[in-house]
Amino acid sequence: MNIEHLREFEYLAESLSFRDTARHFFVSPSVISRHISAMEDELGTKLFVRSKQSVAITDAGTV
């Protein structure tokens, strides 16, 4: 697991905004989304519930 992806995860968990997280790390929201998806695949669980309107952290993401 990439340490930078963990930092992105932490920021996203606090901000609940892919756009704000992407701005903070100077990348596009799609890059953050891909990194989170890769983490979810590696861990075998969803960390966030995403919709076009909102982002929420799952119980697994909280742990």
Is CATH 1.10.4010.10 what the domain over 3-62 is classified as, yes or no? Answer: no
Indicate the pLDDT class of residue 53, thresholds 50, 70 and 90: confident
CA distance 53 to 47: 17
Give pLDDT, residue 28.
97
Region for 57 from its dihedrals, namely left if φ exceeds 0, alpha if ψ lies in -120 to 50, beta otherwise:
beta
In Å, how far from its chain's centre is CA 16?
8
Q: What's the predicted TM-score (pTM) here?
A: 0.91
Tally of CB atoms within 10 A around 60:
13
In the chain, DSSP finds a helix count (H) and a strand count (E) of: 4, 2
Domain chopping of the chain, boundaries = 3-62
Q: What is the pLDDT of residues 12-42, one digit of tens each?
A: 999 999 999 999 999 999 999 999 999 999 9
